[in-house]
Amino acid sequence: MRNLFYLIVLLAFTSCAVSPMGQSTGYPTQASYEADPPITKSLFNDRTATISEENIQKILDGNYTLPKDLRVSLVKLESTQSQRNYYRNNEAYLKSQQEYLDLFTSKFGESTRVTKVSQIPDLLISRNPTFTTIREAAVRTQSDIVVIYSINSDLYAKYKLFSKSDIKAFATTQLIILDVRTGLIPFSTIVTKEFQSKRQDNELNEAEAANRIKNKAILLTIQEIGQQINTFLKK
């Protein structure tokens, strides 16, 4: 029985890793870590991937720059709220959309690299657009980059009672720049702004005041994004 006990102890010691000083550690040594090959690509089998592992490596390791001169096209992705017929037939809504477009056009026009700014017509954009369909539409309009943006705005919950106090709204604008030649996205941003005001005497009701205040918040986000874009294009 004593011999069996010594045999078990001996096997336990010999199973432990030995440090460079000859001491048993029981843990993998640094040499065993260094022997493992580095992981440089995904080891997951993703059948839904649209980019091959080889092309992922080329994109991440490659050098990329935008063209010096840029023809810009604008695409607005409509939210579910904005797609309702009520909004599409509403005069104030249509005017505000044109105001946003004009401000984006003005901001891009401030860059010396931008030679043209236009909007891709809705006729060229599918009801449920994808990056592929937007890119193909941009090719047909000979655009170098496509600016895709989405706007969401609303009143803060405690201000939805339309009391006589100030009405406070927020707006969030998301924007990306899609390079038509490569399909890469060299710039993206999300900006949220707030605006607070009271109902004016010339406004018929609280809803009209709320729309004005939400539009003001949206314009603040576009102003901020315009500054970011001009800084980016100067690099």
Length of the chain: 235
pLDDT for the residue 79: 62
pLDDT for the residue 27: 56
- Find the angle CA(101)-CA(75)-CA(104) to the nearest 5 degrees: 30
Helix spans in the chain (H): 2-14, 30-34, 53-61, 85-88, 91-109, 131-140, 206-233
**Could you give the strand order of the β-sheet that contains 187-197, starting from the edge strand earlier in sequence?**
114-119, 70-76, 145-155, 167-179, 187-197
Domain 72-233 has CATH 3.40.50.1820: no
Question: Rounded distance, CA 63 to CA 51, Å?
Answer: 18
pLDDT, greater one: 15 or 146: 146
Residue corresponding to tokens 């399909």: 183
Residue 121 has pLDDT above 80, yes or no: yes
Question: Rounded distance, CA 226 to CA 59, Å?
Answer: 28
Q: How confident is the model at residue 198 (pLDDT cuts 50, 70, 90)?
A: confident
pLDDT for the residue 156: 83
* CB-based contacts of 123, cutoff 8 Å, min separation 6: none
Looking only at the bridges linking them, the beta strands covering 70-76 and 114-119 are: parallel
**Tens of pLDDT, residues 59-105:** 888 898 999 999 999 999 976 455 454 455 678 888 999 999 999 99
Burial bucket for residue 233 (CB in 10 Å: 0-12, 13-18, 19+) = middle
Question: Rounded distance, CA 162 to CA 67, Å?
Answer: 49
**Tens of pLDDT, residues 132-182:** 999 999 999 999 999 999 999 998 866 655 555 688 899 999 999 999 999
Distances from the Cα of 229 to the Cαs of 71, 100, 140, in angstroms? 14, 16, 24
